[in-house]
Amino acid sequence: MSGPLAIGSLAPDFDALTTDGPIRFHDWLGDAWGVLFSHPKDFTPVCTTELGTVAKLKPEFDKRGVKVIGLSVDPIDRHAAWAQDIAETQGTAPNFPMIGDPDLTVSKLYGMLPADAGESCEGRTAVDNQTVRNVYIIGPDKKVKLLLCYPMTAGRNFDEILRVIDSLQLTAAHRVATPADWKPGEEVIIVTAVSDEEAKGIYPNGWRAEKPYLRYVPQPGT
């Protein structure tokens, strides 16, 4: 393992079996945005709640043109059995593919496990795989746009992940950035690479400047 991926690096491509059949990751993504989120083992409590939450939020990801895929360090037949528990306890079974990674290939490829972790999930506990709890947002260019690493005891906040996707998609289309705690519809910041002279052409109604480098405008398109 060369270390975790960095923002801006190419998300590694791979072949894998999933609960929806075999995929080649980049082909599966196509021209879409993607979210890959990983789990250290099936039948773990926090992950059970996370998978149910993402299943309930799937219409929100669909609305944004984002493909969601999970990964767990177990074979896909165990994923299928786990899905029954998720449906029973969370009210919704996973409605997106789950990657099986029983030989640890993808986990090692993404720097979530060391190269000497072996080649089998057998005999490994969730604690052995505790670093396989990442979220990757991947752009249509197949580059990593966000990387979050979570401990086993803290469930992930998928409302925040949707918020970041909204920011990423907005800022990919316009030369703006979003301030702390931004929500869609709120003011955004003109990036410093845009001079005042250039900004006059983009924003003929002007902007609100708190400092020369801190210029607020209404969110484009609202």
Catalytic residue among 141, 149, 159, 196: 141
Query: 40: burial class by Cβ within 10 Å (0-12, 13-18, 19+)?
Result: buried
Tell me the two tokens of residue 80: 């299928």
Annotated active-site residue 121? The verdict is no
> What count of other Cβ atoms lies within 10 Å of the Cβ of residue 65?
13
Q: List the structure tokens of 177.
A: 């950035």
Taking the alpha carbons at both ends of the chain, their separation in whole angstroms is 44
Check 42, 47, 74, 101 and give the catalytic one: 47
* Residue 65 neighbours by CB under 8 Å, 6+ apart: 32, 33
Alpha-carbon 189 to chain mean position: 24
Specify the pairing of strand 15-18 against strand 208-211.
Answer: unpaired
Q: Report d(CA 13, CA 71) in Å as an integer.
A: 14
Rounded Cα distance between 134 and 13, Å, is 17
| HEC assignment per residue over 128-158 | CCCCCCEEEEECCCCEEEEEEECCCCCCCCH
Q: Which residues are catalytic?
A: 47, 141
